[in-house]
Amino acid sequence: MPVKNRFAELQSEITAWRRDIHTHPELMFDTHRTSALVAEKLRAFGCDEVSEGIGRTGVVGVIKGRKNGSGKVIGLRADMDALPILEATGLDYASKTPGAMHACGHDGHTAMLLGAAKYLSETRNFDGTVVVIFQPAEEGGGGGKVMCDDGMMERWNIQEVYGMHNWPGMPVGSFAIREGGFFAATDEFTVTIEGLGGHAAKPHETIDPTVTASHVVLALQSIASRNVDPTEQVVVSVTSFRTESDAYNVIPQRVELRGTVRTLDRDVRLQAEERFKALVSNTAAAYGAKADIHFENNYPVMVNSPEQTGFAAQVARKVAGDCAEAPLVMGGEDFAYMLEERPGAYILVGNGDTAMVHHPEYNFNDEAIPAGCSWWAEIAEQRMPIG
């Protein structure tokens, strides 16, 4: 089934962009070189408008179709940032910045969306407007949220948004998607249990925060087992349990617990947070201790809208011949913020049999470029047909 011929022609050029970005990874919002490179290329392609500094270092390009009777505006989004990992690929174009690496393939995402922008600027074979969105700080900085908070959706009147991530383990250039909750909300907590410290031989004169915190850890297991509908997904993991003292004969004053709560549904997320707070504070109170709870709402659940997901799958089938049902992912994805503001869909494109993302030997597979670029281009052309 057809990838667009133009992308077979452009593949080596797009690959060269990808490898250049790979050599110069930048973290979080510090995507200065990458953002400048993106903006320069968008201008060279003849985009109608290129705006830098959206969401600090984000870049937005506008491409108007040959017709604009539909009034439709579609946002296509890629991420640009790298990870704080020491690269171990041994590639001749490996990172020249020690401790920074494109280990999630955002170099490939940026290059593929640039390739699509070049094609769409050349052909403009659609009735409406394409807005290409290049965001910083996907890896933990909430760059997508910062772009939304900057008024991006309203400023360009974006009506729908689409995103893509490469996925190791899926055949290269194949697609997978799912409707509804897809990537998890990744909330994090720090709880301090304060009791009354003292001599380990005189527990009756103390309020033991270690015993209290142990009961808290066990009580939290009932969120998944007794509160949330068993057909839904929730993970509550206490990942750190630290007392103030290492001594054999001291009951400490405080214990600090840390961990994460992951959910795939907005209501389950709220339910889990509510139960978390009630279990922690009431269990602590039952033992005479106090609990100080910091529950941080990190990335929300990434929810694919039904209509746009069906459309995105149909486009993927046209490009690759098939589109699989994607697995649920308990990792987070910052595109969730854009999908909270507008309907849209996020798809996975196969990266072949490579190391997993975030691994020091991972590399984006340039063979995925024609399929990825074709999907972007077809999203614009099929969603806003020229008629």
Instruction: Kindly list the residues in this chain that would bind Zn ion in the complex (CB under 5 A).
Output: 104
CA–CA separation, 41 vs 179, rounded Å?
34
For residue 185, the minimal CB distance to Zn ion (Å) is 16
3-state SS class at 190: strand
Least Å distance, CB 42 to Zn ion, is: 22
Q: Rounded to the nearest 10 degrees, what angle do helices 209-222 and 266-286 cross at?
A: 150
Measured from the CB atom, is 104 or 320 closer to Zn ion? Answer: 104
The residue (of 79 and 273) whose beta carbon lies closer to Zn ion is 79
Closest CA to 344 of 382, 380, 381, 306: 306
Minimal distance in Å, beta carbon 105 to Zn ion? 6
- Distance of alpha carbon 370 from alpha carbon 86, whole angstroms: 29
Nearer to Zn ion, 114 or 213 (CB): 114
Rounded-to-integer distance, Cα 340 and Cα 336, Å? 6
**Nearest residue to Zn ion, scored by beta-carbon proximity:** 104
**272 vs 326, beta carbon nearer Zn ion:** 326
363, 218 contact by CB (below 8 A): no
Instruction: Yes or no: say if 302 and 124 are a contact pair by the CB < 8 Å rule.
Output: no
- Least separation in angstroms between residue 330's CB and Zn ion is 13
Q: Which is nearer to Zn ion, 189 or 335 (CB)?
A: 335
Specify which residues 191 forms β-bridges with: 257, 293
Cβ(256)–Cβ(289) below 8 Å: no
Q: Least Å distance between CB 104 and Zn ion?
A: 3
62-77 burial, b at 16+ Cβ within 10 Å, e below that, comes to bbbbeeeebebbbbbb
Give the residue with the Cβ less far from Zn ion, 206 or 351: 351
CB-CB contact of 149 with 295 (8 Å): no
Choice between 63 and 80, CB closer to Zn ion = 80
CB of 214 to Zn ion, least distance (A): 34
Shortest Å distance, C-beta 141 to Zn ion:
12
Spell out the residues 6+ positions from residue 128 whose beta carbon is closer than 8 angstroms to its own.
65, 67, 68, 70, 71, 72, 73, 74, 380, 383, 384
